[in-house]
Amino acid sequence: MQPVPLLIKNLDQLGALTNNTESAELTVLGYLMMAVPLDVQLCRLVIFGALLGMPCEGVVCAAATSVQDPFTLPSHLIMKDPKEYAEAVRRSYETRRYFDHGHWSATLGLFEPSFGSVLPMEGTEIEAPTDGTMDLIACLDALPTSEVKSVESLETKACPICLDGYAVGEALKTLACGHAFHAGCMEQWGQGNDGCQTCGKPWRPQ
């Protein structure tokens, strides 16, 4: 739990409060954040939709993007069991194939796994995919990982990707440019972005 002054400061920076004092009042964004189970970025999306005269579209887009998309590459950093990881990759592949109707668009093809090698016949060894997935995993593994010991000692108190405040015990990934993020957030960000979320410099280790 963040100290009250720090929490007020963070909420003010996000635009949820009118100022950074304890007498601050909630803004429209602040009231919306309290009323709906959406993070601040999606609440802003709802507000932008209303400002553009499309409130229903804003709500639909926010609701649709508030859940994990079915095309996200499974995480071997979270799934330590090879069988569980292989099953998640298989489900991801089948979902992509179903929704893309076999066209293999550029976006889906970017993470197309080599399932002939990921899911071999019983009794054979699992070979590494050859589509760039292993290179992505290796780059993420190569990023220095650290554990938050004290939030107060951090230069940035919240993850720039998800905007959630850091907590003691959480794992952080630090890029060559010096910017750090939640390990899980950086893993998701790295799947579709080549640059640091904060400064834009390439994040993959050279």
Average the pLDDT over each of 53-57, 125-129, 147-151, 185-189 and give the range with the smallest value: 125-129
Best CA proximity match to 107, nearest among 69, 162, 66, 143: 69
Contact 183, 121 (CB under 8 A): no
Contact 5, 165 (CB under 8 A): no
- Going from N- to C-terminal start, the domains of the chain cover 4-64, 82-129, 143-192
Select from 3.40.50.2300, 3.40.50.300, 3.30.40.10, 3.20.10.10 the CATH code of 143-192: 3.30.40.10
Residue 170 pLDDT exceeds 70: yes
Q: What is the reported pLDDT for 2? A: 55
Q: Which two tokens stand for residue 142?
A: 């190569």
Residue 131 pLDDT exceeds 80: no
Contact 78, 69 (CB under 8 A): no
pLDDT tens readout for residues 31-62: 888 888 788 888 888 998 888 999 898 888 88
pLDDT tens readout for residues 70-113: 556 666 666 677 777 777 777 777 776 666 665 555 443 344 44
Q: Quote the strand ranges of the chain, DSSP E.
A: 145-147, 171-174, 180-182
